């Protein structure tokens, strides 16, 4: 490749909001001499990059991460999580292969310990303690990924935003895209990474047991408008302030397929609409372009000019809907944290199905 071709390629990358472009000059290709870029060219690249950025962009490409992986203020989290019936162990898989330098974020572990509902949002203090134990600072830019492409990573993206951390992005296509792009992975995680994951779990336990945890270096800024409770969803049935969009499969939404967890009724919240999370993604599990996302919502009669609330089974895939809406400029979409596991298990909540109203 010529210098001009390399410069052209570099301009196609999408860096983040306020991070300076890590240009890694001079470039060098096999069998060639190094080709330096002038300061004017660097300035041109930076200017071009800033103009092309969108504050609504919630994902980043594997190419961007590969180029910026060693930046000191970039922290990478493996937030892989799987449905119980998949019988996959995310921590074991992390130890076998993960993006170099990535830390493990335990979706089930960094959660509210006062409820039987799965992986509910922890308290501010508990989240701050766990994130501090992982060595993450408020100034850090965080890239979160998972082993499916875009799945549980969106949940952790939402969690950080709930606690006031906006400098977080989902890796588009996740670990599968990283690996198919030919980028290296690490195996046999360093003892430091495993110790940090363990320390985060211990910190959560201590907070909920009322014990002292220290030092807590991460500061939270809770954003209550991004989280909805059962009571708010009940109120919304009557007032209809928000369009309620359910990310579960159509069969589960219609009540014709059983729920994967025992003791939970089948069906949906009255007045809600179904848009399975898989429709936000393409075949390689990357987020669809804005025009295609918009079409998906409009096809289900969901107006992008009105407020939206999302839910799913346990509050994981609802965050994928929120991720897609974020790309469309709707950056204030709340997620019903308890989702169908809470609603369907409550004998006092109304349930609709495709055939019979109960």
Cα angle, residue 281 at apex, residues 279 and 284 outer, rounded to 5°: 135
Please name which of 328, 319, 308, 311 lies closest in space to residue 240, comparing C-alpha atoms: 308
Query: With b meaning 16 or more CB within 10 Å and e meaning fewer, what string describes 54-71?
Result: eeebbbbbbbbbbbbbee
No. of helices (H) and no. of strands (E), the chain: 13, 10
- Structure token pair of residue 231: 């009571």
Taking the C-alpha atoms of residue 342 and residue 319, their distance in angstroms, rounded to an integer, is 17
Which two three-digit tokens encode residue 214? 């220290």
Q: Which of 3, 35, 274, 312 is catalytic?
A: 312
User: What is d(CA 96, CA 114) in angstroms, rounded to the nearest whole number?
Assistant: 32
Residue 274 annotated among the catalytic residues of the structure: no
Contact 104, 189 (CB under 8 A): yes
Q: DSSP assignment of 90-141, as one string?
A: HHHHHHHSB-TTPEE--TTTSS-TT-SSTTPPPPHHHHHHHHHHTT--TT-E
Cα-based distances in Å from 38 to 31, 43, 44, 97: 22, 9, 10, 39
Q: Per residue in 75-108, is it b (16+ CB within 10 Å) or e — as a string?
A: bbbbbbbbeeeeeeebeebbbebbbeebbbbbbe
C-alpha to C-alpha distance for 356 and 52, rounded to whole angstroms: 50
Hey, which residues are catalytic here?
312
């Amino acid at each position: 490749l010529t210098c001009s071709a390399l410069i052209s390629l570099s301009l196609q990358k999408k860096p983040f909001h306020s991070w300076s472009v890590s240009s890694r000059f001079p470039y060098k290709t096999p069998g060639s001499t190094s080709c330096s870029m002038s300061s004017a060219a660097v300035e041109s690249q930076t200017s071009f990059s800033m103009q092309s950025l969108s504050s609504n962009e919630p994902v980043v490409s594997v190419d961007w991460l590969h180029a910026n992986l060693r930046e000191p203020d970039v922290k990478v989290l493996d937030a892989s999580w799987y449905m119980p019936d998949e019988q996959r162990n995310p921590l074991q898989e992390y130890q076998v292969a993960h993006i170099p330098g990535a830390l493990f974020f335990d979706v089930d572990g960094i959660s509210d310990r006062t409820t039987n509902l799965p992986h509910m949002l922890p308290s501010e203090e508990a989240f701050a303690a766990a994130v501090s134990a992982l060595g993450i600072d408020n100034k850090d830019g965080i890239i979160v990924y998972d082993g499916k492409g875009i799945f549980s990573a969106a949940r952790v993206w939402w969690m950080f935003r709930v606690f006031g951390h906006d400098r977080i992005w989902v890796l588009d296509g996740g670990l599968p895209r990283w690996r198919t792009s030919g980028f290296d992975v690490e195996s046999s995680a360093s003892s430091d990474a495993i110790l940090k994951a363990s320390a985060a779990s211990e910190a959560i336990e201590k907070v909920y047991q009322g014990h002292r945890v220290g030092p807590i270096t991460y500061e939270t800024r809770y954003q209550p408008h991004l989280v909805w409770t059962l009571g708010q969803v009940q109120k919304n049935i009557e007032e209809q302030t928000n369009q309620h969009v359910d990310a579960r499969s159509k069969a589960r939404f219609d009540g014709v397929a059983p729920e994967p967890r025992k003791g939970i009724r089948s069906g949906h919240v009255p007045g809600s609409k179904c848009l399975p999370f898989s429709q936000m993604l393409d075949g390689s599990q990357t987020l669809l372009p804005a025009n295609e996302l918009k079409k998906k919502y409009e096809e289900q009669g969901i107006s992008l000019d009105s407020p939206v609330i999302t839910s799913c089974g346990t509050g994981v895939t609802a965050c994928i809907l929120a991720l897609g809406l974020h790309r469309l400029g709707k950056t204030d979409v709340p997620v019903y944290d308890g989702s169908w596991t809470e609603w369907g298990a409550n004998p006092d909540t109304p349930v609709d199905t495709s055939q019979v109203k109960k």
